[in-house]
Amino acid sequence: MTTSQNTPAKQAIVSERAPQPAGPYSQGIVSGDLLFTAGFGPQDRENGNAVAESVAEQTRQVLRNIQAVLDEHGATMDQVLKTTVHLADLADFAEFNAAYQEFFTAPYPVRTTVGSQLANILVEIDVVARVAG
């Protein structure tokens, strides 16, 4: 559980409960009263592998990874304003949507959902949340 200060205007958020970045990016960044997360896949922190084969279970793991980053800053899913969702197959939308809805309450965040070519996963999500500055 580490939070590091890069500059006064941009603070990196690091969670030991979420997968570590595979490249030069942060799990999350806070700037002012907004928290932005990286795009998370369904990887498990322990072994780095996707946790399941169904889009519903992958969606749940992705959102647990995002929750871990939000938790690091004392934020919750209720503070999420916007989500961007990448699905490997838009035919999986109904199954994805049912699992996604388990993590949010009304008023729901705005959402963009697109079909994307993903590397051996079915879903990737990033969020923007309003947090205390």
What is the CB neighbour count within 10 angstroms for residue 46? 8
DSSP 50: B
Question: pLDDT band at 53, cuts 50/70/90?
Answer: confident
Q: Structure pTM?
A: 0.90
Question: Helices in the chain by DSSP H: which ranges?
Answer: 55-72, 93-101
Question: Which CATH number goes with the domain that contains 48?
Answer: 3.30.1330.40
Supply the range of the domain harboring residue 64: 2-130
Q: How far apart are CA 14 and CA 116, in angstroms?
A: 26
Q: What is the pLDDT of residues 3-27, one digit of tens each?
A: 555 446 899 999 999 999 989 999 9
pLDDT tens digit string along 85-121? Answer: 999 999 999 999 999 999 999 999 999 999 999 989 9
Domain total in the chain: 1
Q: How far apart are the first and last CA of the chain?
A: 20
DSSP helix/strand/coil, 10: strand
